[in-house]
Amino acid sequence: MAYVPRNNAIVDKSFHFACDIVIYTQSLKSNGFYEIGGQLLKSGTSIGANIRESQRAVSTKDFKNKLGIALKEAEETQYWMQIIEHTGIASVPQELPGNCEELIKLLVSIIKNS
């Protein structure tokens, strides 16, 4: 099943970010960094999963809660990328930190304005 764009910036951006994370963590794992690759994979893909789940929220409170979880996962993803960069075990693709920061800003804005 191919991805169908949702014409919703946060949903589409988080999906593409998750795909980039999957590809990047494969390279981490192939170089023996299984644990940190797994942590990054879980948090990086969870952002989009929670955003997608928020689209079927039963209330505003539920919507904001799901987006709040996505925000926490985005912060965790940022943390793992900083660990990877700081320790020098691998290079993080240049676009990943910026894309993660963009998701964080979008999430904060949506939560504040909901």
pLDDT tens over the chain, length 114 residues: 899 999 999 999 999 999 999 999 999 999 999 999 999 999 999 999 999 999 999 999 999 999 999 999 999 999 999 999 999 999 999 999 999 999 999 999 999 999
CA distance 22 to 2: 16
CA distance 6 to 94: 26
* Nearest-5° Cα angle at 33, 32 to 34: 95
Buried b (16+ CB within 10 A) or exposed e, 15-50: bebbebbeebbeebbeeebeebbebbbebbbbbbbb
CB atoms within 10 A of CB 83: 14
Domain boundaries 9-112, corresponding CATH code: 1.20.1440.60
Model pTM above 0.85: yes
Domain boundaries, the chain: 9-112
